[in-house]
C-alpha cells in the first residue's frame, strides 16, 4: 500500500508544484487556458483510451469550453495595444 501511495502522491505533488510555479510566471489568459484544457484532455482521453461514449452532453460541454477559450483570446487580443 505504501508503494501505491508513493507512486500516486509523489508524482502528483511534484507535478502540482511545477505547475503552480509555471502558472505564476504566465499571463492570466495562458494560465486560464491550461486550466480550461484539462476537461478537454480528460474527455478525449477517456473516449480514446477506455472507449467511453461521447454523448451529446459531453460534446456540448466541450463546445462551450472551446468557445470560452476563443472568446477569452479574442477579447485579450482586441484590448492589447500593438506597438
Average pLDDT over residues 28-40: 81
Which residue's entry shows cell 472551446? 66
Of the candidates 56, 30, 58, 63, the residue with the CA atom closest to the CA atom of residue 42: 58
> How many C-alpha atoms does 54 have within 13 Å on its Cβ side?
14
Higher pLDDT, 83 or 45: 45
pLDDT interval class at 79 (50, 70, 90): low
User: Is the entire prediction scored with pTM above 0.85?
Assistant: no
pLDDT interval class at 83 (50, 70, 90): low
With beta carbons less than 8 A apart as the criterion, state whether 47 and 62 touch.
no
With beta carbons less than 8 A apart as the criterion, state whether 69 and 41 touch.
no
Amino acid at each position: 500500500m505504501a508503494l501505491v501511495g508513493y507512486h500516486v502522491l509523489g508524482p502528483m505533488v511534484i507535478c502540482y508544484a511545477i505547475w503552480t510555479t509555471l502558472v505564476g510566471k504566465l499571463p492570466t489568459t495562458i494560465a486560464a487556458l491550461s486550466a480550461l484544457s484539462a476537461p478537454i484532455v480528460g474527455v478525449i482521453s477517456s473516449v480514446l483510451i477506455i472507449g467511453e461514449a461521447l454523448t451529446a452532453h459531453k460534446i456540448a460541454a466541450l463546445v462551450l469550453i472551446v468557445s470560452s477559450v476563443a472568446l477569452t483570446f479574442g477579447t485579450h487580443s482586441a484590448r492589447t495595444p500593438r506597438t
